[in-house]
Chain A
């Protein structure tokens, strides 16, 4: 079986690597590209820990074939911070203690950022809907919802 070259834009940087036949995007990002921010939770598209965006749409990277992102724009949680400057959502997650073990956090952040980019002033229900594909077993969700709403209401990012 022949490996396929995949050229993609990852968090605004052009990247290229070879994908194994049938390799999923999560595995490709972690092993071939070295972006460890998307997490492996369930491998079957249920937990949301591997959430990334592809051309602006949230996707579960464990269910996407790596070769299908050739020529596309992929964003992960590691692209949220700009150097030492964190995304306002990351600051809000810290301020509101929206993480305990932290395993769901990268996926939560990607889902939340995508929501706010599309809808800067979401309602509580819209926030809940946006993160309903991301499982968290520690926080009881309330601190996460509060953190996301605080950025939305604060208009911390234009």
Chain B
């Protein structure tokens, strides 16, 4: 029995969003008389941080403190239309819609403030602390709350904005299937080290080194959290998880957590993450979004590492001990690539 070590590399381009129906997202933003803003979205935060990121984007665009923005993603029956939280589209699509809605709401807020200050709205700026003042004259100032109350009770104005982000639907070539489904791509490169036991066929990922290019990382801690969790799931897809271990035979398929194989807290590989920030021209403040891309480069990198370690080329995921052993058998034993 020998433990063989191998290294594998993979690089990916990952499209943000998709082509279906132009992939639209809508956002509605309005202020209450207390000067605080509500952003209504129908895309759901599954824990990936959609609420945090759209809240940052709205506060930045409106020019108000982040504490003054509430993001409501409660109900797709009553909220504005959205395609949903998938296709790694959240930050990019909803973020762009939130920017447009916030710009429109900000314009009305400044008009309301201008009426109260008896100045031109184009001379007004926000300080991000809840105040609106004349450019260069901070003493000519009104709070966002006072402006909102004036709009509501005196001027009869709704401080509100509508936003949509829609990519023109790309025609599909009937000959080739060619189309332009997306407006931007994220990228990643991954280097993994594995150990392969040539007696049991077991594959263990022992180290992961990655670089992810995500546009601007709008919330760096959330980006790191997604990359760490997503890459772990990629490792799990590469070497552990399957609902059909003996496809097309349905026997012995897992039906619950007892029989579905997945790594636990004792099955982690150290993951060294580098985030490359290259703001996207059409992204909200340059953001693209990590999304599904977190997991994708791990799978081909693991397969390549197994090939490097024992010379077995596996083209069917996950890499199970059985597949490794069958490969070793048909190759007449382990053939480490570095020995060649």
Query: Which residue numbers of A lie inside 8 Å of B, CB to CB?
Result: 41-42, 44, 46-47, 97, 99-102, 127-129, 131-132, 135-145
Cβ of B233 under 8 Å from chain A:
yes
Binding stretch for chain A, among B133-141, B166-174, B183-191, B257-265: B257-265
**Contact size range, B:** 20 to 34
8 closest A-B pairs by CB? A140-B232, A100-B47, A101-B47, A46-B257, A141-B265, A97-B225, A140-B229, A128-B265
Instruction: Return the contact of B266 from the options A47, A101, A128 (Cβ within 8 A).
Output: A128
Query: Is there an interface contact between B256 and A42, defined as CB atoms closer than 8 Å?
Result: yes
Bound Cα distance A79, B188 (Å):
43
| CB closest chain-B residue, reference A99 | B47
Interchain CA distance A141-B257 in the complex, whole Å: 17
CB distance from A112 to the nearest CB of B (A): 11
Interface centre among B225, B258, B271 (most CB of A within 10 A): B225
Contact pattern, B 42-86, Cβ under 8 Å of A = 1, otherwise 0? 000011100000000000000000000000000000000000000
Bound CA–CA A135/B265 (angstroms): 8
Interface majority SS on A: helix, strand, loop or mixed? Answer: loop
Q: Which residues of B contact A (CB under 8 A)?
A: 46-48, 221-222, 224-226, 228-233, 256-258, 262, 264-266, 268, 271
Chain A residue nearest to B228 in the complex (CB): A140
Q: For the complex formed, measure the closest distance between the CB of A86 and the CB atoms of chain B, giving whole angstroms.
A: 19
B257 with A44: CB separation less than 8 A: yes
When chains A and B are docked, how far (Å) is the Cα of A85 from the Cα of B224? 28
Residues of chain A lying within 8 A (CB to CB) of residue B230: 140
Is the pair B228, A143 in contact by a Cβ cutoff of 8 Å? yes
Contact (Cβ within 8 A) B47 A102: yes
